Amino acid sequence: MIKILSHILFSLLLIFLSAPQSCKDDNTDSLKETAKEKDSVEIPKYDDFTFKTAFKNISKAKKENDFNKLGGIYLALGSYYLKKSRYDSAFFYYNHSKEFFSLKGNRSYTGISLSAMALTQSFEGDFPGSDETATEALKYLQSPKDNRAISNVYSTLATSKFDQKDYSQALKYYKLTLQFLTDTLSRFYTKNNLAITNTKLRNFPVAINILSSLSNDPFSHEHPSLLAMVNDNLAYTRWLNNPRYNAENELYRALRLREKENDLLGQIANHYHLSEYFEEKNYGKAVFHAKRTYELATIAGSPNDQLDALRKLILLDVHSSSENTYFASYVKLNDSLQLARDRSKNQFALIRYEVGKNKEENALLKAENAQKNYQLLRHRILVFSITVLIILASFFSMLWYRARTRKFKREKEKEVQRIELKYSKKIHDEVANGIYFLMVLLENNPDAKPTKIIDKLEELYNKSRDISHDAEFKIDIKEDFSVILRNMIQLYGVKNTKIIIIGNEPQLWEPISVEKKEEIYHILKELMTNMKKHSEATIVVLKFKLENTAITIHYSDNGIGLADPDQTPDKEFKNIRSCLNLIKGKFYIDHEQKKGFSMKIIIPA
């Protein structure tokens, strides 16, 4: 009964793979990837009528070098033989499937093929080989896209460990199987097997709790054969936990339900439980049910169940003349089964060896052909290369000469542009803005002393004269830079324009170099000049802040704003951009502000 789950899991997996796939959740990348990969492989279904078409499809796929298609056909052929219990043939085709998917680099289907091989080995009693193949399959499978295949691998490992009577490991793998299962039927069978394993470990309360939950599950009441299975196991486990527990009626009720459902394998398990139950209570009934177990196991072709029944009859029917017959049958069947398992192990190993050998021979043949082609190609390349090298040498020499000439020309042009930009910027920053600053001073201070105006004019004259001598101009930074900025900015405020300065503290400017201070001074003077000329603002706010090793200056006013809010007027902010480029700064204009104008300037400290 334990192996039924592995059949169901793998059958569901093949149904899932062969069904048309769709990806409804476009927001989940993993599901997209799964759908894409699954859609690229078609898993056909073969029965006795369509079986022969498989080999025509194989020939066609080989001509097309379609490895995914070949892998799908071989996987389907393996499943065809697995259903017929021809395990050597199933393993043969599953192995070929694995090889083609591996050549294609299709990890999911390589893992699925290995999972099927492990299941086949488990059915034939090659448990060490099955465990090794299943472990290899897990290396190729990834959650969550391969969850169905992963659950099948863990189920195979659990079944293998259970048959080897390593119940602790079986329990571990059944729990792992549950983590990756989503369909109700498979989860139901896995929980049932989890309970049976706990029973084997004599964890009776745990097993009873699981089986009671399954017995009350509405799903079991929709499927009589499942309800019978659970109730049979529950009654049997309760009796094992408490030998005085009367389980007879429950066991017979389950048996009658299984007979009604024609559940042959279920009847075998039920009769065996009844035989054990009556072993100390009613010798005749115990023998009857043991014999019935053997008869049904023979009809079902289940050698393991036959061995269990014969073993029980040998122990029970000690006074009967049939004892020797049972013993002889047991020895014969056990030897036959062991021989078949050994033969299968060797057959599985031989199949893998032959496939590996063919791969090696093909690789050697390809290597020899490649070597011959390489020698021929090498000779042709040598002749061709000498000719091409001469042509390329001449061509690249000419290109190098032209590139060198163009480079010198570009460098000269850039030098001229740099000098022009340098003097243009100095004239604008030092002279033009200075003159406008003087105009603002006169406008706001009509009673200013002539001597002060003369001093300013003389300063502008000196700056203009120094431009011709290529001198470097620096603002007077002997005093506090915050004071210099405040005095300059406040001069642009008149009766109808209020200027608010926030955060212009002396410590703010301590980490800023002299060169950067000079450019910041020119930037703000340019910004205030533009405000005075164009904005018609009544309120101007300037916020200074040190954020993450950068000076942030946020300017905003309530003026008329930009003529075109969707574009940055390059002409108006050309000088600001030039100054910021020199100190690696940036500015951002808030285009979403509906009224007025807002700009954020960021300068690294």
* Of 236, 226, 147, 150, the residue nearest 188 (C-alpha): 226
Please report, for the domain that includes residue 110, its CATH number: 1.25.40.10
Q: What pLDDT is attached to residue 446?
A: 67
Q: What pLDDT is attached to residue 419?
A: 58
Domain boundary residue, one of 165, 181, 197? 181
Task: Quote the percentage of the chain above a pLDDT of 90.
Answer: 36
CB atoms < 10 A from the CB of 130, how many? 26
Identify whether 371 is part of a domain.
Answer: no
Q: Mean pLDDT score of the chain, rounded to an integer?
A: 80
Q: What pLDDT is attached to residue 6?
A: 58
CB-based contacts of 373, cutoff 8 Å, min separation 6: none
Residue 36 has pLDDT above 50, yes or no: no
Which of 175-179, 390-394, 448-452 has the weakest average pLDDT? 448-452
pLDDT, greater one: 557 or 419: 557
Q: What pLDDT is attached to residue 19?
A: 39
Q: What is the mean pLDDT of residues 517-537?
A: 87
Residue 337 has pLDDT above 80, yes or no: no
Q: What pLDDT is attached to residue 346?
A: 62
Which of 60-74, 363-377, 467-481 has the weakest average pLDDT? 467-481
Residue 95's pLDDT band (boundaries 50, 70, 90)? Answer: very high
Partners of 601 in the beta sheet?
Answer: 553, 587
Range ranked top by mean pLDDT from 7-21, 175-189, 437-451, 525-539: 175-189
CB atoms < 10 A from the CB of 286, how many? 22
Please report, for the domain that includes residue 575, its CATH number: 3.30.565.10
Residue 50 has pLDDT above 70, yes or no: yes
Rounded to 5°, the CA angle 322-326-328 comes to 115
Q: What pLDDT is attached to residue 271?
A: 94
Helix (H) or strand (E) holding 255: helix 248-260
Q: What pLDDT is attached to residue 23?
A: 30
Q: What pLDDT is attached to residue 534?
A: 84
Measure CA of the first residue to CA of the last residue in the chain; give whole Å.
Answer: 76
Q: What pLDDT is attached to residue 545?
A: 92
In total, how many domains does the chain have? 2
Domain boundary residue, one of 181, 212, 247? 181
Give the 3-state secondary structure of residue 158: helix
Hunting for tokens 């769709």 — which residue is that? 22
Identify whether 63 is part of a domain.
Answer: yes
Find out whether 484 and 521 touch, Cβ atoms under 8 Å: yes
CB atoms < 10 A from the CB of 152, how many? 33
For 470-509, how does the pLDDT look when each residue is reduced to its tens digit (9 = 90+)? 444 455 555 688 998 998 898 888 778 899 999 999 998 9
Q: What pLDDT is attached to residue 472?
A: 40
Range of the structural domain that residue 146 is part of: 1-23+36-181
Q: What is the mean pLDDT of residues 278-282?
A: 91
Compute the distance between CA of residue 84 and CA of residue 72 in angstroms, rounded to an integer.
19
Residue 99 has pLDDT above 50, yes or no: yes
Residue 192 has pLDDT above 50, yes or no: yes
CB atoms < 10 A from the CB of 101, how many? 27
Identify whether 505 is part of a domain.
Answer: yes
Find out whether 199 and 230 touch, Cβ atoms under 8 Å: no
For 208-237, how does the pLDDT look when each residue is reduced to its tens digit (9 = 90+)? 999 999 999 999 999 999 999 999 999 999
Q: What pLDDT is attached to residue 397?
A: 80
Q: What pLDDT is attached to residue 21?
A: 33
Which of 79-83, 455-459, 473-477, 479-483 has the weakest average pLDDT? 473-477
Q: What pLDDT is attached to residue 22?
A: 30
Residue 328 has pLDDT above 50, yes or no: yes
Q: What pLDDT is attached to residue 330?
A: 72
Compute the distance between CA of residue 38 and CA of residue 358 in angstroms, rounded to an integer.
28
Residue 519's pLDDT band (boundaries 50, 70, 90)? Answer: confident
Task: Quote the percentage of the chain above a pLDDT of 70.
Answer: 74
Q: What is the mean pLDDT of residues 585-594?
A: 86
Which of 55-64, 323-332, 464-473 has the weakest average pLDDT? 464-473
Give the side-chain half-sphere CA count within 13 A for 171: 14
* pTM for the full predicted model: 0.55
DSSP 409-476: HHHHHHHHHHHHHHHHHHIIIIIIHHHHHHHHHHHH-TT--HHHHHHHHHHHHHHHHHHHTT------
Compute the distance between CA of residue 103 and CA of residue 71 in angstroms, rounded to an integer.
10
> Which amino acid would we find at residue 491?
L
Q: What pLDDT is attached to residue 473?
A: 42
Residue 247's pLDDT band (boundaries 50, 70, 90)? Answer: very high
Compute the distance between CA of residue 148 and CA of residue 98 in angstroms, rounded to an integer.
17
Domain boundary residue, one of 181, 206, 241? 181
Compute the distance between CA of residue 126 and CA of residue 164 in angstroms, rounded to an integer.
10
Instruction: Say how far residue 88 (Cα) sits from the centre of its chain.
Output: 36
Identify whether 532 is part of a domain.
Answer: yes
> Which amino acid would we find at residue 599?
M
For 115-139, how does the pLDDT look when each residue is reduced to its tens digit (9 = 90+)? 999 999 888 888 888 999 999 999 9
Identify whether 568 is part of a domain.
Answer: yes
Compute the distance between CA of residue 559 and CA of residue 555 in angstroms, rounded to an integer.
12
* Of 235, 212, 226, the residue nearest 184 (C-alpha): 226
Identify whether 495 is part of a domain.
Answer: yes
Q: What pLDDT is attached to residue 567?
A: 59
Strands 550-557 and 586-589: unpaired
Distances in whole angstroms, Cα of residue 352 to Cα of each of 94, 118, 356, 358, 448: 11, 13, 6, 10, 104
Q: What pLDDT is attached to residue 228?
A: 94
Give the side-chain half-sphere CA count within 13 A for 436: 19
Burial of 87 per CB tally in 10 Å (0-12, 13-18, 19+): buried
Residue 174 has pLDDT above 80, yes or no: yes
Identify whether 571 is part of a domain.
Answer: yes
Residue 439's pLDDT band (boundaries 50, 70, 90)? Answer: confident
Identify whether 543 is part of a domain.
Answer: yes
Helices and strands in the chain, H and E counts: 23, 5
